[in-house]
Chains A and B, each alone.
Chain A
Amino acid sequence: MSYTSIKFLIFVTVTMLAYFLFPKKWAEYKWTVLLAASYVFYIFAGIQYIGFILFTTTSTFLAGLWMEKISGRSKDYLKEHKGDLSREEKKKYKERTKRTKKLVVALTLVLNFGILAFLKYAKVLFMGGTGDLLVVLGISFYTFQSMGYIIDIYRDTVPAQRNFFKFALFVSFFPQIVQGPIGIYSQLAEQLYKPHDFDYDRFRHGFLLILWGLFKKMAIADHANIAIRTVTEHYQAYGGTTLLFTVILYALQLYMDFSGGIDISRGVAQIFGIDMMENFRRPYFSKDISEYWRRWHISLGNWFKTYLFYPLAMSNAFLTVSKNIKKSKFGSTAAGAHIAKVLPTSFASFVVFFMVGIWHGANWKYVAFGVYNGAIIMLAVLMKPAFEAILRKLHINPDCAPYTAFRILRTFVLVLVGYVFDVAPSFEESMLTFRLIFTDQNLRVGYGEISELGLNKVALIFLAVSAVFIFIVSAIQERNDKTTIRAMLDKKPAIIRWGVVYIGIMAVLVLGVYGSGFNAADFVYAQF
């Protein structure tokens, strides 16, 4: 059941009715409606996959209880033997407890990430094929979300959930199961379990967000996808100009597809009174690649930052290397001191992006994508003093508008380079794309090829106008980061507010790609 289908619309409406008409005297069980809806949604996607989500839910739930039991037992023991144990004995006992918990968390992580890795890489590693062994709906997203929860319990930052069904809802909440955002237990869980009454303003805001997401996905992304799919299916047939056009179009399509899907998810959740985290903050306005990754797929970035980057950067191994550099002769120089200071974080960044690349799938192009992003970030951090010196020498004010515009444009070009790996079917073809983009530019040939990509002139003009429209909306949001376009709309007269809704609905109905004449694309990130 796609988020853009009539079925989903009916499904959400029925869930809404069931949720908001739930008997008031049993309000504390309102969340069961969301749980039932989430499992119905999952069963619609394919009942054969339900075992995977049930396994993750059960194993994580039990591991959470187990760890909490270990912590509780340890605390009780220490309390009981407060006077009997020496400091050394207490320390040893605590370490032993930590070791046991570590073992439990490691086992849970290995088991669950193991399943994810097996499904993603088994075909490539053991069967000599390509692609995933099985594409299980949302497995990446619910695995990351559940593993975040188990690490939080290990760190004693959240208490374990004692109700299996409540935990099952946290793992399977239907608006986020397809492509996130990856929720954090401490932020999401209580909202899920709390009974929410119908709120007209929330409904209106949620509806507008859904409409906006549908427009981005169905009208812009799916139109762009027609041309992109034509190129990627016959990659070798096109020249450098067309490939460059395709990569730029991909930047628009991917952003609209992913952020559109997330808007639909957030909009639906908002109607139920649940605020899911923002997953995008105008990423193409980023001034460097690090910022881009803080604005793009924010929930995944946060996950890696919290559960991989910090543990790595603060790990003994990384800190030791840093200390050794500092102590060395090189460490006494300005450059050496800087490198010693930032090496742990920059190297941790590299590892994180390498992992992000691998997470995308079992293909060398994704490894290259990860290495490329990691290397750029690492170099940017390590070379920062050198870049600053160049700016000083050239008398450029780093905060002036032209330089900021240059940085935004430069970052966008760097992002496009990364997209070449993503859009090309394989690593070899991404290399071919780079070669052709630089050596085979011919506007006339490109124009001819582009007009044969399944989009006529009117559709191409529509995409160009849409890109400008998105840019303007993003620029407005960028200038007023603390408010939303919806909040701005609230201040306008009723006729404008309702007019916008009317235009939005008609735009989706008319401009959207749907129906049997089209082959609407699945959400890109649903495959990861």
Chain B
Amino acid sequence: MKNTQKQTNKKPNTKRRTYRNRIIMITSLVLAVLVTTWFLQEFILCNPNHNTERIRGFYLEDENSMDVVFVGSSEVYCAYAAGLAYKECGFTSYPYATEGNTVRNFKTIFDEIRRTQNPKLIIFEINGAIYGDKNIDKEVNLRRVTDNMPLNDNKVDLVERGATSDQVEYYLPFLKYHGAWDNMGSTWMWSISLIQDKLRGYNLLKGIKNRTLSYHPTSKVYATEELKYRRPLFRKSDEELRDFLQYLIDENVDTSRILFVRVPHITTDENITRYQRGNSIADTVRSYGFRFESFEADDPVIGMDVDKDFYNIEHMNVYGQQKFTKFFAHYLQDNYDITPSELTEKQKEEWDKTIPYYDAYVKYNEQVFSEGGNVEAAENYLCMRQINKLVEK
């Protein structure tokens, strides 16, 4: 009798235990799948590169800790080094720039900067408005920004304005990039870098990237006075630029806190039309009441050497970057009254760290130059291994 009672008591217990175990196992499985998928999406299969590292790095910075944010395309992170500007003038800055970043993305980037920082000045390099219509609509130019932005209304707005394919994939990039496993090449060095940045809580080189090459122009290099002609912009770029400028006005943005610039390039017959479109952009920007400064061509004050300071006609190498950054940081300090904000102990420690790292970055570039190598110098694992050694020295 007792035995039977014991058995009947035991049965529901066993059943309950089985159910509990199943629930635990199923929950663990779902969690494991979600965590793995998130990890792969965030660090491995997201096609990581210097754009990923730079934009994610922006979001790692403390809120309201930035004096200047420099928005634009590849020109920006090649020409401007935030670490060097900090060393020269003591203000904090960051390049919110991606390869092929178009003017269509500017509104969202502006909103994102406003959401996370309260900079004294937001600078827009206008290359993104020179692109043709095809470039404006290119999915990759949109994705380099959206893939690395956190999910919020600004991202939704940009996806809705720019996405030409399945919008779900912009919010769940895993759907898009899961197949990247067969074509990862050297992306692993960026994956490691992304994980290191995440663990550290900030990046060390603040998103710079150069190539260790010196371009030697083979055709005539135009001087500024020869480049007065104004070539109209492509339709979509013009519309997007005007929409953005109107948006700034509608939002009552203080015009003294916005600056449009053109960084130095080598202007030859190959890219003269881009310069001429830049002239039209200057007119448009000014017509809306915003300031525009061009540092194009052979500005003797900056002292750019067209035979040494660029790695191609559009982009500076580390030599050009040093010259331009030093010039531009002081220029901002003198003309826009950019004074360093007060940083917390921790923030100061982090920014102070960028100085030896930028110095080591320069040395690393010089070393590769002297060896005749051609590498992409940026904050990826392979470069940082060398840079770390130089810092330790």
Contacts of B181 in A (CB 8 A): 458, 510-511
Name which of B33, B166, B178 has the most chain A CB atoms within 10 A of its CB: B178
- Decide: A462 near B182, CB < 8 A? Known: A200-B22, A510-B40, A515-B169: yes
Contacts of A462 in B (CB 8 A): 182
Q: Please tell me if the beta carbons of A509 and B25 are within 8 angstroms of each other in the complex.
A: no
- Considering the chains assembled together, what is the distance between the CA atoms of A513 and B182 in angstroms? 12
Q: Please tell me if the beta carbons of A502 and B179 are within 8 angstroms of each other in the complex.
A: no
Contacts of B341 in A (CB 8 A): none
The B157-210 residues at the A interface (CB cut-off 8 A) are 165-166, 169, 174-176, 178-179, 181-183
Contacts of B165 in A (CB 8 A): 516
- Considering the chains assembled together, what is the distance between the CA atoms of A518 and B40 in angstroms? 19
Question: How extensive is the interface on chain B, given as a class?
Answer: 20 to 34
- Decide: A512 near B178, CB < 8 A? Known: A200-B22, A456-B183: yes
- Decide: A515 near B176, CB < 8 A? Known: A456-B182, A458-B182: yes
- Decide: A502 near B175, CB < 8 A? Known: A510-B45, A516-B165: no
User: How far does the Cβ of B191 sit from chain A's closest Cβ, in whole Å?
Assistant: 15
Nearest to A497 among chain B residues (CB) is B25
Residue A469 CB within 8 A of the other chain? no
User: How far does the Cβ of B277 sit from chain A's closest Cβ, in whole Å?
Assistant: 32
Partner of B178, one of A459, A494, A498, A510: A510
Q: Please tell me if the beta carbons of B29 and A515 are within 8 angstroms of each other in the complex.
A: no
Summarize B's interface: helix, strand, loop or mixed.
helix
Residue A106 CB within 8 A of the other chain? no
Q: Please tell me if the beta carbons of B169 and A516 are within 8 angstroms of each other in the complex.
A: yes
User: How far does the Cβ of B363 sit from chain A's closest Cβ, in whole Å?
Assistant: 36
Partner of B176, one of A498, A505, A517: A517
Contacts of A200 in B (CB 8 A): 22
Contacts of A455 in B (CB 8 A): 182
Residue A506 CB within 8 A of the other chain? yes
Contacts of A512 in B (CB 8 A): 178
- Considering the chains assembled together, what is the distance between the CA atoms of A501 and B25 in angstroms? 11
Residue A514 CB within 8 A of the other chain? yes
User: How far does the Cβ of A13 sit from chain B's closest Cβ, in whole Å?
Assistant: 14
Q: Please tell me if the beta carbons of B183 and A515 are within 8 angstroms of each other in the complex.
A: no
User: How far does the Cβ of B2 sit from chain A's closest Cβ, in whole Å?
Assistant: 32
Partner of B29, one of A458, A459, A498, A516: A498
Nearest to B166 among chain A residues (CB) is A516
Nearest to B22 among chain A residues (CB) is A200
Q: Please tell me if the beta carbons of B22 and A458 are within 8 angstroms of each other in the complex.
A: no
- Considering the chains assembled together, what is the distance between the CA atoms of A241 and B166 in angstroms? 38
Contacts of B40 in A (CB 8 A): 510
Nearest to A200 among chain B residues (CB) is B22
Q: Please tell me if the beta carbons of A502 and B169 are within 8 angstroms of each other in the complex.
A: no
Contacts of A509 in B (CB 8 A): 33, 37, 174, 178
Partner of B179, one of A498, A501, A505, A518: A518
Residue B36 CB within 8 A of the other chain? yes
User: How far does the Cβ of B23 sit from chain A's closest Cβ, in whole Å?
Assistant: 11
Nearest to A494 among chain B residues (CB) is B25
Residue B332 CB within 8 A of the other chain? no
Q: Please tell me if the beta carbons of A506 and B36 are within 8 angstroms of each other in the complex.
A: yes
Interface digits, A504-528 against B, CB 8 Å rule (1 contact, 0 not)? 0110011111111110000000000
The A444-495 residues at the B interface (CB cut-off 8 A) are 455-456, 458-459, 462, 494
- Decide: A501 near B176, CB < 8 A? Known: A200-B22, A510-B181: no
The B29-44 residues at the A interface (CB cut-off 8 A) are 29, 32-33, 36-37, 40
Q: Please tell me if the beta carbons of B182 and A515 are within 8 angstroms of each other in the complex.
A: no
Nearest to A204 among chain B residues (CB) is B22
Partner of A515, one of B28, B36, B175: B175
- Considering the chains assembled together, what is the distance between the CA atoms of A187 and B373 in angstroms? 72
- Considering the chains assembled together, what is the distance between the CA atoms of A517 and B45 in angstroms? 14
User: How far does the Cβ of A217 sit from chain B's closest Cβ, in whole Å?
Assistant: 15
Contacts of A511 in B (CB 8 A): 181
- Considering the chains assembled together, what is the distance between the CA atoms of A518 and B45 in angstroms? 16
Partner of B33, one of A456, A494, A506, A517: A506
- Considering the chains assembled together, what is the distance between the CA atoms of A287 and B82 in angstroms? 71
Contacts of B28 in A (CB 8 A): 498
- Considering the chains assembled together, what is the distance between the CA atoms of A505 and B179 in angstroms? 15
Q: Please tell me if the beta carbons of B25 and A515 are within 8 angstroms of each other in the complex.
A: no
Nearest to B44 among chain A residues (CB) is A510
- Considering the chains assembled together, what is the distance between the CA atoms of A514 and B177 in angstroms? 10
Q: Please tell me if the beta carbons of A502 and B182 are within 8 angstroms of each other in the complex.
A: no
Contacts of A459 in B (CB 8 A): 182
User: How far does the Cβ of A516 sit from chain B's closest Cβ, in whole Å?
Assistant: 5
User: How far does the Cβ of B186 sit from chain A's closest Cβ, in whole Å?
Assistant: 13
- Considering the chains assembled together, what is the distance between the CA atoms of A516 and B166 in angstroms? 7
- Considering the chains assembled together, what is the distance between the CA atoms of A514 and B179 in angstroms? 8
- Considering the chains assembled together, what is the distance between the CA atoms of A512 and B37 in angstroms? 14
Contacts of B166 in A (CB 8 A): 515-516
- Decide: A502 near B22, CB < 8 A? Known: A514-B175, A517-B176, A517-B179: no
User: How far does the Cβ of A9 sit from chain B's closest Cβ, in whole Å?
Assistant: 14
- Considering the chains assembled together, what is the distance between the CA atoms of A216 and B88 in angstroms? 60
The B11-25 residues at the A interface (CB cut-off 8 A) are 22, 25
Nearest to B37 among chain A residues (CB) is A509
Q: Please tell me if the beta carbons of B33 and A505 are within 8 angstroms of each other in the complex.
A: yes
Contacts of A502 in B (CB 8 A): 29, 32-33
Contacts of A506 in B (CB 8 A): 33, 36-37
- Considering the chains assembled together, what is the distance between the CA atoms of A505 and B33 in angstroms? 8
Q: Please tell me if the beta carbons of B32 and A458 are within 8 angstroms of each other in the complex.
A: no
Contacts of B175 in A (CB 8 A): 514-515
Contacts of B29 in A (CB 8 A): 498, 501-502, 505
User: How far does the Cβ of B179 sit from chain A's closest Cβ, in whole Å?
Assistant: 7
Partner of A513, one of B32, B37, B45, B179: B179
Nearest to B176 among chain A residues (CB) is A515
Contacts of B33 in A (CB 8 A): 502, 505-506, 509
- Considering the chains assembled together, what is the distance between the CA atoms of A511 and B45 in angstroms? 11
User: How far does the Cβ of A510 sit from chain B's closest Cβ, in whole Å?
Assistant: 5
- Decide: A498 near B25, CB < 8 A? Known: A456-B183, A515-B175, A515-B178: yes
Contacts of A513 in B (CB 8 A): 179
User: How far does the Cβ of B47 sit from chain A's closest Cβ, in whole Å?
Assistant: 11
- Considering the chains assembled together, what is the distance between the CA atoms of A459 and B181 in angstroms? 9
User: How far does the Cβ of B175 sit from chain A's closest Cβ, in whole Å?
Assistant: 5
Contacts of A518 in B (CB 8 A): 179
- Considering the chains assembled together, what is the distance between the CA atoms of A513 and B175 in angstroms? 10
User: How far does the Cβ of B35 sit from chain A's closest Cβ, in whole Å?
Assistant: 11
User: How far does the Cβ of B63 sit from chain A's closest Cβ, in whole Å?
Assistant: 34
User: How far does the Cβ of A490 sit from chain B's closest Cβ, in whole Å?
Assistant: 14
- Considering the chains assembled together, what is the distance between the CA atoms of A511 and B175 in angstroms? 11
User: How far does the Cβ of A4 sit from chain B's closest Cβ, in whole Å?
Assistant: 13
Nearest to A511 among chain B residues (CB) is B181
Please list the 7 inter-chain residue pairs (A to B) with the smallest Cβ-Cβ separation, ordered nearest first. A458-B182, A459-B182, A516-B165, A516-B166, A515-B175, A510-B178, A505-B33
Extra 9 A-B pairs, beta carbons < 8 Å, given A494-B25, A498-B28? A458-B182, A498-B29, A505-B33, A506-B33, A506-B36, A510-B40, A510-B178, A515-B166, A517-B179
25 contacts between A and B (CB under 8 A): A455-B182, A456-B182, A456-B183, A458-B181, A458-B182, A459-B182, A462-B182, A494-B25, A498-B25, A498-B28, A501-B29, A502-B29, A506-B36, A506-B37, A509-B33, A510-B45, A510-B178, A510-B181, A511-B181, A512-B178, A515-B176, A515-B179, A516-B176, A517-B176, A518-B179
